[in-house]
Structure 1
């Protein structure tokens, strides 16, 4: 079996919690280097800049970008121009036009670009898609609620323009929604609640519609205390499907559940699947860039009514104030 060397750009929480363990467990990849100003991974070459990595390690053919979306585009483009294959953590960029440009460049150079949606790799998503195939969808209710102080402690970028705020986790819900529904949906209305000291929303309600009267109602909250609520309930002409725990557990009409429950941080099985898919794309020299979840987020910002919310103070940064 051929093992491909891969580098990680941005050694933050998601890289340490998910990407590094997934690569270590993979038979397809070896972590050969990192790019981080705040420290890399023990036993692995670390570079302060991507340019330094590209110059020093022409032997590394693939790069996984885990840095914040606001600063990802320039590096991903430089990597593609240097002939490297690229994986993008979700969301794949700060804007749709950035990702369209990266996709066009990758296609032109014959390189792989994978815009990842880890929640699509949850244990029961494929089964949910199979159940819904050919069925008439009446109503989808999405509850995507978690505590930002637990899941994104000290991450200031998420509150800055391009960081998406509550849509950073909610785009996971939209990635599942666009994967499992047999019909397309589009945003019709939204209400976005912005803390007065932040540039991105902390909560939102989003309404969507489909071509035959399908409705989607999404309630999103970044201040939810206790266990996260990552749930989608789909009412159809053949029963009600519930997809819970971020796509890990599925049941129909309240019957027996199937799937594998997560345990904190809850997404261990998804990232090994992402890297297995990356290996398949590399072997085929093809790209995988589905921007439907990002389109729904962009449309929520376009159509959303802005409402002021109380200032948000991150306890992880309180000592710096």
Structure 2
């Protein structure tokens, strides 16, 4: 007899919850959407609560939550969830600051809760095949081009321009893939950040990363890309060129398309969460987030034209 799906609540019902989490949970055998915790954007026919404490009181069978709120202030949600013994899936980015992200990880340590700090792009179909292909090859050059239009992916969402976010909201997806597939740890060598005159977060960034070898690693992010959107990584090795396209969903070697699993990344993300719950283990990797923080520490700032949502 198969196990019953775990009742789960979504905390924060915004665009990412509607676009990805809700349909993924609906198609999952491991989870069922039992409730929401949100002050806005409630769902029809799904009970909603104003806090995690109210959720637990009203839905005692709920044993897991997916936190999909904007990153600022998540530590309070984590502490409430831990106090009530809930397992937690945390949408990226994990927090607004490294200090808060580390406090989130510390809150889990010694508790009975499971925490999955998610990087959904790591679950893209070609990421694990790429990682396996690169293991025994010497890397000479890595070029990342991650360019999309904020107007399309975050229409009118002013929180995306809070300090520390901006272009790094999509850009951290590329960093999460790099830190997974490259065989050596990465550090930031230098960065240039382009800030609109009227915003507190960058709209573009260029990073140079160091993996402790002589590999040249150049990363380019743009949040003002008109026309085709690109999420591409090219890796030149001593045994061919690996390319990841479509955000890590497709892979080629020397221009020849490679077979990859046919499964959506959020389905894989929730399958991973189910596995962590079953084994009572947490996944709390913060490497991509630390690289973003380092970019703010070392980045040379330049001002560009003011951003216009209708521009």
Unpaired runs of 5+ residues, structure 2, are none
The residue number in structure 1 matching 2:301 is 306
C-alpha deviation, 1:184, in angstroms = 1.3
Q: In the aligned structure 1, how far is the partner of 2:59 from the partner of 2:236?
A: 52
Does 2:81 match 1:84? no
Q: In the aligned structure 1, how far is the partner of 2:86 from the partner of 2:171?
A: 30
Aligned positions of 1:1-321 closer than 5 A: 1-162=3-164, 164-259=165-260, 269-315=264-310
Q: In the aligned structure 2, how far is the partner of 1:106 from the partner of 1:117?
A: 18
Matched-pair contact (CA < 8 Å) for 1:114–1:289 = yes
Give the total of aligned pairs: 309
TM-score normalised to structure 2 length: 0.96
CA RMSD of aligned residues (A): 1.5
**Structure 1 counterpart SS, 2:194:** strand
C-alpha deviation, 1:54, in angstroms = 3.5
C-alpha deviation, 1:257, in angstroms = 4.2
Unpaired runs of 5+ residues, structure 1, are 262-267
C-alpha deviation, 1:137, in angstroms = 0.9
Matched-pair contact (CA < 8 Å) for 2:205–2:220 = yes
Matched-pair contact (CA < 8 Å) for 1:54–1:79 = no
Matched-pair contact (CA < 8 Å) for 1:190–1:304 = yes
TM-score normalised to structure 1 length: 0.93
**Structure 2 counterpart SS, 1:99:** helix
C-alpha deviation, 1:100, in angstroms = 1.8
Matched-pair contact (CA < 8 Å) for 1:9–1:63 = yes
Q: In the aligned structure 2, how far is the partner of 1:192 from the partner of 1:54?
A: 43
Matched-pair contact (CA < 8 Å) for 1:249–1:260 = no
Q: Once the two structures are superposed, what CA deviation does each residue of 1:44-83 show, in whole Å capped at 9, x if it has no partner?
A: 1012333422333332111100000013221122111221
**Structure 1 counterpart SS, 2:221:** strand
Q: In the aligned structure 2, how far is the partner of 1:272 from the partner of 1:107?
A: 27
